[in-house]
Structure 1
Amino acid sequence: MTKMKAVLEYGPLVVFLAAYVLLKDQTMTWGGVTYTGFILTTGIFVVLQTAATLALWKLTGKLSAMQLLTLAVVLFMGGLTVWFNDGHFIKMKPTIIYIFFAGLLGIGLLRGQSWLKLVMGEHLPMAEEGWLILTRRICVFFLAMAVLNEIVWRNFSDGTWLTFKVVGLTVAMFGFLLSQAKLLQKYGQDKD
């Protein structure tokens, strides 16, 4: 089941990148409007992300807030991308998601709470001080990723941005999580 969840979560992104590589030089005219390969692959991505999220829901019986927000933003920004035939919308999606979660976690921190603990505390037992430190670090990381996404999509080609989105942001997230091992070791608690 874990492998299937990973395929459903990352599969649409991998297909987005692969479809772009295949269709980047193609165009399609529909209803008198010509769509580039990037717009076409965005449409494919929206459909696949929706199908994958529904399959994940059927498989697990639930969806996390992150999965629901991601689907909503993909539908909205991807829909705007295709509707207006403008790739800028889908490129802003990671920025919006990162800023939203950084802001949400930041509000919790201003209240002296780690809202990250509310979501992950059951699976990752840790002392309160550790949760606050981890939440601050994730807020900074998310804001940095939002800025980096803006720099890449505004200054590089569609293909470079898409590779950055699929590979770069994923590797950065795993790297960030691995870099927190000492924090987890220091503040982690046994479940019992």
Structure 2
Amino acid sequence: MTQPAETGKEGLPPLTKLLLEMGPLLLFFAANARPGYFTPFVGPLLPAGMGAEHAGIFAATAVFMLATVAALVVNYVLERRVPIMPLVSGIVVVSFGAMTLWLNDDLFIKLKPTIVNCLFGSILLGGLFLFDKPLLPVIFGGVFQLDDEGWRKLTFRWGAFFFVLAAINEIVWRTQSTDFWVSFKVFGMTPITLAFAIAQTRLILQHSPQEEPKEG
């Protein structure tokens, strides 16, 4: 899942942020495609008696877990804090990845995007409708400023979109092969999310505070 940067005053350079976000996903794809290259490094994490048909997804899961933790550590070293969304996503990656390897069942890693997206969608829409509070500024507030109406509209859109992503993930992993799901997770979900984020530009511009003209 790709989202606007949640940084401090300076923030991470765009290339560094992109590497921290996409690096674990690209390694996930590479390990699934060529597990033999990665198994020597993650062998102790792999389940005993693992069948050859699951070698790719299990190696990819172990690599994904380690790469995700490494990305969070690097993010903390560079910023002295960890953004909320990557932190929550990382916790779910490690939890569901561990269950995948421990129980020798790739169902759990396939459910991870569904769980994460439903969690974020529930938080955003629950905050909006149950507590009358848009929570998106907590996540995106450092990137841009909006008026109250703008935050409410954008919170609703992102909350609904997270559930759409969850539904897409469920459809893909239940109807397609594991290799197709891995490829779609890396090269399908990211462009879809980026396209949705770009589509919100008009709303953001409409509800951004207008600067008062300077006198003199």
Partner residue of 1:77 out of 91, 96, 101: 96
Seen in structure 2, the aligned counterparts of structure 1 residues 57 and 122 have a Cα distance that, compared at 3 Å, is: closer
User: Which residue matches 2:122?
Assistant: 103
User: Which residue matches 2:50?
Assistant: 34
| SS of structure 2 residue aligned to 1:188 | coil
Seen in structure 2, the aligned counterparts of structure 1 residues 32 and 137 have a Cα distance that, compared at 3 Å, is: closer
Deviations 1:91-150 (A, max 9, x none): 111111100011001111112221102332343111111111111111111111101101
User: Which residue matches 1:65?
Assistant: 84
Q: Does 1:4 align with 2:16?
A: yes
- Alpha-carbon contact 1:116-1:131 (below 8 Å) kept: yes
- Alpha-carbon contact 1:117-1:131 (below 8 Å) kept: yes
Which segments of 5 or more consecutive residues in structure 1 lack a partner in the other structure?
none
User: Which residue matches 1:148?
Assistant: 168
Question: Counterpart amino acid of 2:19?
Answer: V
CA distance in 2, matches of 1:71, 1:122: 21
Seen in structure 2, the aligned counterparts of structure 1 residues 31 and 78 have a Cα distance that, compared at 3 Å, is: closer
| SS of structure 2 residue aligned to 1:175 | helix
Partner residue of 1:167 out of 161, 181, 187: 187
- Alpha-carbon contact 2:100-2:108 (below 8 Å) kept: yes
Question: Counterpart amino acid of 2:32?
Answer: Y
User: Which residue matches 2:30?
Assistant: 18
1:190 offset after TM fit, Å? 4.3
User: Which residue matches 2:9?
Assistant: none
| SS of structure 2 residue aligned to 1:85 | coil
Question: Counterpart amino acid of 1:88?
Answer: L
| SS of structure 1 residue aligned to 2:132 | coil
| SS of structure 2 residue aligned to 1:125 | coil
- Alpha-carbon contact 2:85-2:139 (below 8 Å) kept: no
TM-score scaled by length of structure 2: 0.81
Which segments of 5 or more consecutive residues in structure 2 lack a partner in the other structure?
1-11
1:31 offset after TM fit, Å? 7.4
CA distance in 2, matches of 1:143, 1:188: 26
Q: Does 1:176 align with 2:188?
A: no
Q: Which has the higher helix share?
A: 1
Runs of 4+ in 1 over 4 A off after TM superposition: 26-32
- Alpha-carbon contact 2:47-2:101 (below 8 Å) kept: no
Alignment root-mean-square deviation, CA: 2.2
Number of equivalent positions: 191
Higher RCO (CA < 8 A, seq sep 6+): 2
